[in-house]
Amino acid sequence: MFLPNTIKLFRYYKSLGDKSIDQLEEDQLFDTPNEVSNSLAIIMKHLHGNMLSRWTDFLTTDGEKEWRNRDGEFELEAESPAEIKKLWEEGWNCLFHAIEPLTEEDLERIIYIRNEGHTVTEAIMRQLGHYSYHVGQIVYLARQLKGNNWHSLSIPKGGSQNYNKDKFSQDKQRSHFTDKV
């Protein structure tokens, strides 16, 4: 159950990012609240670089590839909104291409990130934590940029009572919380 649930969580976090990005005007991808903060475009570019490095040849090469330019991920050149969105999709596709074929037997294999040994399970959890951290930043920044025009990605403020009433009116069932998202 670990792998299917983990894949669902990665897809869930990608969907939160997608739904946040989709609410914005394209130029808002490049807005920053101040000089020391990252824009959505920078966060997306960083995730792309991290995902390509970590998930390319995941089981056979170190997760910090020699060709990765991590510092360059935090600089914008002449990237357009379309290019940034393409990087976002490419990173996630790399992740899913690497993780979906894994088997339960793969989970205890040792892989390396910067010469530090991890079981495959540990490496997956490391990246799940990293990506959820940055997707949270994306959601928060997008929400700030949209202000009162933000469409909630979860239970809206003041909606908990109605949400719970609806949930508890249904029969108990076994499902993953992302199944209906």
| 129-176 tens-digit pLDDT | 999 999 999 999 999 999 999 999 998 888 899 888 888 888 888 888
Where do the domains of the chain lie?
2-168
Phi-psi region of 114 (alpha: psi -120 to 50; beta: other; left: phi over 0): left
| Contact between residue 163 and residue 155 where contact means Cβ atoms under 8 Å apart | yes
Query: What per-residue confidence (pLDDT) applies to 97?
Result: 98
**Cα–Cα distance between 139 and 121 in angstroms, integer?**
26
Residue 172 pLDDT: 86
Sign of CA dihedral 24, 27, 29, 33: negative
CATH code: domain 2-168 is 1.20.120.450
pLDDT at 159: 87
Task: Tell me how far apart the alpha carbons of residues 167 and 180 are, in angstroms, rounded to a whole number.
Answer: 12
CA distance 90 to 87: 5
pTM assigned to the model: 0.93
